[in-house]
Amino acid sequence: MNKIVKNIKEALNLCGIKDGMTISFHHHLRNGDNVINMTVNALQELGIKNLNLCASSLFQVHSPIISAFDDETITTVESGYIGGDVGVAISNGKLKNKAVFRSHGHRPSDIKSGKIHIDVAVIAAPTSDDMGNCSGKFGKSACGSLGYAMADAQYADKVIVVTDNLVSYPLCDFSIPETQVDYVVCVDSIGDPEGIVSSTTKITRDPAGLRIAKFAVDCIKNSGLLKNGFSFQTGAGGASLAAAMYLKEIMLKENIKGSFCMGGITGYIVDMLEAGCFETLFDVQCFDLRAVESLKNNPRHKEVSAEHYASPTSKSCIADKLDVVILGATEIDTDFNVNVHTNSQGIIMGGSGGHSDVAAGSKLSIIVAPLIRARLPVIVDRVNCISTPGKTVDILVTQRGIAVNPAKKDLAERLKASGLPVFDIEALKNIAEDFSGKPEPVERGNKIIAEVLYRDGTVIDEIMNYCG
């Protein structure tokens, strides 16, 4: 007895797929993922309509699913991040219903509570046995952690594992157990390794980016939080990685033993683990091959679920134990509200991911951003979309200076006393506008095409269609 069925279409039929259902996916294969496109194609061939596509993130590689918006195979999208042409299509009103954005921590919370009811979860698994014990650590399409898929596997009515590396029962080092899996489908390729993990994530060489990183680390150093037991999260952007590099230098020089690093993990963070800067890495997603190798081999590098990472309704989560996070922004306003959902024209090009979760959970949240991007100031009067509320944002670091949330007076004093260039955020805004001029207000459409849920379940903002 095993659970293997011959293709995705058959698995969907066995799951009793029908119109109006919710079908879920995870995004560990990132911009290399084949599984969403293959599945959506099968759904189109089956003639299923009005589906809710609940994907933890969507990328440029998923642009073929726009055709399923057109033919109403998919009429709702719920996601943590919608990049590339898919975001543009939604902004252009191609999706019948509103898209719904949730943070990466909020998603497993709503899955667990039943606010999101998943009828069929599709798990892209780089390795699986014939009963569905599966892992992201092994195989030609290895992606490392499967942390975002865990809630889907646990709570969906039906679970299909799609793999391109079937191994003999049992897969010992499984991340998702067979107890949760109904069917296993073997395909030639679940994804393109080039898009799944970068072979190299690179530190920025841009002088402005390096300056931002240096300032950010100076803020950390002078915050009072950088001491034994320090915990940290940063992203995979060039400036964030540069900040990790500077932070590592300081921690080694000053012999500071941190406790844990959380996140999407890169090789730079693995270096910090191996150098003794941290005791533990918690990994909900691997960004590069070095992170995958480390997760596989280093017992101090541990895969965790998205719920454990950041669910606001779990009995506790790692995000709430973070000292410092470094995060990006497409825009930030003078109330420190951050936009990572849309570009400055209001077109969907991303999403919160875990941004709002860790901003809320951490003791110190630092936004790193250039003062001007694509000839437009990053600091604005009011962001096009509130992704992360200003009350959870402590510091903005730009290449020209630092702004501290007025609610954090002590912090501002500390940073000023250390000689850092601390400005009012309005002053930084003015500096930028002196260069680039004040941008024209964006003309928004009159149709709500997406709503952004905050991690407490409230609608924190709505995104209108683009009519530029």
Report the site for its own copies in 312-351 (rule: CB under 8 A): 314-318, 320-321
Alpha-carbon span 314 to 456, nearest angstrom: 12
Residue 245 beta carbon to its own copies: minimum distance, rounded to whole angstroms: 24
Residue 114 binds its own copies (CB under 8 A): no
Our CB check for its own copies shows the closer of 161 and 449 to be: 161
* Binds its own copies (CB under 8 A): choice among 49, 98, 211, 302: 302
Residue 362 binds its own copies (CB under 8 A): no
Residue 357 binds its own copies (CB under 8 A): no
Query: Tokens 């995104």 correspond to what residue?
Result: 463
Our CB check for its own copies shows the closer of 173 and 456 to be: 173
Residue 300 beta carbon to its own copies: minimum distance, rounded to whole angstroms: 6
Dihedral (Cα; 277, 147, 216, 59), 10-degree rounding: 140
Binding mask 120-149 for its own copies (x = CB under 8 A): -----------xx-----------------
User: Which range in 55-63, 96-104, 278-286, 332-340 contacts its own copies by CB under 8 A?
Assistant: 278-286
Residue 414 binds its own copies (CB under 8 A): no
Q: Total binding residues for its own copies by CB under 8 A? A: 38
Query: Tokens 């931002």 correspond to what residue?
Result: 212
Report the site for its own copies in 141-200 (rule: CB under 8 A): 159, 168-170, 172-174, 177-182
* Binds its own copies (CB under 8 A): choice among 47, 299, 419, 441: 299
Q: Is 77 left (phi over 0), alpha (psi -120 to 50) or beta?
A: beta
Our CB check for its own copies shows the closer of 177 and 445 to be: 177
Residue 104 binds its own copies (CB under 8 A): no
Residue 170 beta carbon to its own copies: minimum distance, rounded to whole angstroms: 5
Our CB check for its own copies shows the closer of 20 and 229 to be: 229
Our CB check for its own copies shows the closer of 117 and 302 to be: 302
Residue 279 binds its own copies (CB under 8 A): yes
Our CB check for its own copies shows the closer of 183 and 336 to be: 183
Residue 304 binds its own copies (CB under 8 A): yes
Residue 308 binds its own copies (CB under 8 A): yes
Residue 121 beta carbon to its own copies: minimum distance, rounded to whole angstroms: 12
User: Which range in 18-26, 114-122, 307-315, 346-354 contacts its own copies by CB under 8 A?
Assistant: 307-315
Our CB check for its own copies shows the closer of 146 and 347 to be: 146
- Positions touching its own copies (CB under 8 A) are 1, 3, 131-132, 159, 168-170, 172-174, 177-182, 229, 259-260, 279-280, 282, 299-300, 302, 304-305, 307-308, 311, 314-318, 320-321
